[in-house]
Amino acid sequence: MAKKGKKYEQAVALVNPEIEYSLEEACDLVKKTSNRNFDASVDIDIRLGVDPRHADQMVRGTVSLPHGTGKEVRVLALVNEAKQEEAREAGADHVGMDEYIKKIEEGWADIDVIIATPDAMGKLGKLGRFLGPRGLMPNPKSGTVTMDVADAVKTVKAGQIDFRVDKFGILHTSVGKISFDATAIKENAEAFLSTVMRLKPASAKGLYVKSVFMSSTMGPSIPISRTAVTSL
């Protein structure tokens, strides 16, 4: 195992692994434990008491972060000609249909979100194995398959995130950048965590939230009190 650097060890020393922090404390601490020379992401990992192998225990949703994600979201709008000008005016970075389908078939994925009109889905179906694992497959539930293209583009540009529990029952997402003040990080985190709580499957038994951690890119994990989350 590679040896951790001195800066990382200094950051770890600031975190007491024996206690669980309030959300406010964690947001203050995550800024203190980040010592990178770039604007690191602030991440949250939640281990849920669900079994994603069962469809009725799949936790998936979207949430608009009140302070945005802090990063530029690159949007591809796969739309018919009648909707293309609307997509451009709304701020989509790439707009088209068949030419972009061909680029994706060739391995292009230099984007963060795909917005598609329903008529594009028949063409995208064959690309599911490529787009799915990258989190790029449009989905009506997340609002990325729609005829209201302008609204969808503006929403994701403004800071809407799409999240989905992995096969181990873990949700991972970014709730901002380390350059955000602690209050903005807290409000973004609350928006995400409260949405996760509302999505608790009726069939989930026992503890729904098993553990919650906050960290910055390459920074130590900060344990957050489950009570701070379940009370949202």
pLDDT in tens, 44-95: 999 999 999 999 999 999 898 999 999 888 999 999 999 999 999 999 999 9
Class assignment of domain 75-157? Answer: alpha beta
- Please determine, for residue 1, whether its predicted confidence score (pLDDT) is greater than 50: no
Show me where the domains of the chain are located. 18-68+161-230, 75-157
Q: Give per-residue pLDDT as tens, 196-218.
A: 999 999 998 899 999 999 999 98
Domain at 18-68+161-230, CATH from 3.30.565.10, 3.30.190.20, 1.10.167.10, 3.40.50.720:
3.30.190.20
Most confident of 8-12, 31-35, 102-106: 102-106
DSSP line for 102-150? HHHHTT----SEEEE-GGGHHHHGGGHHHHGGGT----GGGT-B-S-HH
pTM for the model: 0.78
Of 184, 157, 189, 162, whose CA–CA distance to 71 is shortest? 157
pLDDT-derived band at 3 (thresholds 50, 70, 90) equals low
Nearest alpha-carbon partner for 21 in 158, 232, 213: 213
Distance from the Cα of residue 217 to its chain's centroid? 14
Confidence check: pLDDT of 4 > 80: no
Is the pLDDT at 10 greater than 90? The verdict is no
Q: How confident is the model at residue 26 (pLDDT cuts 50, 70, 90)?
A: very high
List the structure tokens of 43.
Answer: 């991440």
